[in-house]
Amino acid sequence: MNLETAINTFVSSVCAGKINETPSAYRQKLRQLNRYLGADREIINITHHDLDNFRIYLLTKDKIIRGHKEIDGHLSPFTILTTLSTTRYLFRWLYRRGLVAADLSRTIELPKKPKPRPKAIESEAAIKMLKVASETGPIWARARNLAIIYVLRDTGGRVGGLVNALVDDLEMDVGQLMVVEKGDVARTLFLNPHTILSLRLWLHARQSLEPKDRHLFVGMYGHGLSRGRIYNILRETALKAGIIGRYNPHSFRHAFARDTLRNGSDLSRLSEMMGHSTSGVTTEYYAVWDQKDLQELHKRVSPGVTIPLFLPADENA
């Protein structure tokens, strides 16, 4: 069996029944290995030296693909870690299935796990995007794009949930939207008044498009939006708003976590609102602060704020 066939068989097996982004994520990570060793390489001929050289290649690579272009740059520590972790998983699976004689996964050394960096959209940037969305395009597009941004900003929902959401999943009288995320996980997003109003205006405008299905968010021809189209809507809006930093759907999810904690939520309830299996996930990936955040918090909570001020007495006084 060659490497490309092994990768396809592995992904089909471990991701059987999954309709979320996991299969494509595995294929993307293993594409690096496929290119490095060669798609036609027989898996029984791959050695631990090959995999060690692959690890060194990832660590020292000075060209990356951005869009469809190769540019100067290094892979991020997170990309290297997840690529090697997925490679480990592949070779452990091959060994347990009896497709290779040795468990090469044991020989793959993983780099130290990098500390996550803040990935949230800035609050001011989100407001700029709302303003631009309210002024750009035909009235139906303005209403739809505003509703999308309001839902992302207000709920911390995943883009997959917005793509799958149906009109019938929306209960505006109680301020709730039922979504299905990560393939088959259903949960409730809670909606505040501005978000509810934006959705009411969008549903009114939506009728003019003569929708072909019951998807909550549709395009000009009445069909449900794809994940890529929502990304593009945000990108186009951000460019018009002159935003340089983050603006993708997941940055809104990070911002929801950041601002909910800033406003006094505890991690347990935030984890529930984020749809995480444990609060540990919320802590590790979303409760991530930069120096500015920590300094502002320090100003509010440090005992130094309330202790009385004493100055050195003049010894001659």
d(CA 242, CA 152): 20
Report the top-level CATH class of 3-107: mainly alpha
Distances (CA, A) of 24 to 13, 157, 217: 13, 21, 24
Please give the CATH topology (third level) of the domain spanning 123-296.
Answer: hpI Integrase; Chain A (1.10.443)
d(CA 121, CA 254): 7
Beta carbons of 282 and 274 less than 8 angstroms apart? yes
DSSP 8-state class, residue 73: -
Domain ranges of the chain: 3-107, 123-296
Tokens, residue 98: 């009896």
pLDDT in tens, the chain (317 residues): 999 999 999 999 988 766 667 788 889 899 999 999 999 999 999 999 999 999 999 999 887 766 566 777 788 888 899 999 999 999 999 999 999 999 999 989 998 877 767 788 999 999 999 999 999 999 999 999 999 999 999 998 999 999 999 999 999 999 999 998 876 788 899 999 999 999 999 999 999 999 999 999 999 999 999 999 999 999 999 999 999 889 999 999 889 888 888 888 877 888 888 887 777 777 766 677 677 777 776 777 677 777 877 778 776 65
The reply to whether the predicted model has a pTM over 0.85 is no
d(CA 80, CA 33): 11
Beta carbons of 167 and 203 less than 8 angstroms apart? yes
Do the first three CATH levels of 3-107 and 123-296 match, i.e. the same topology? no
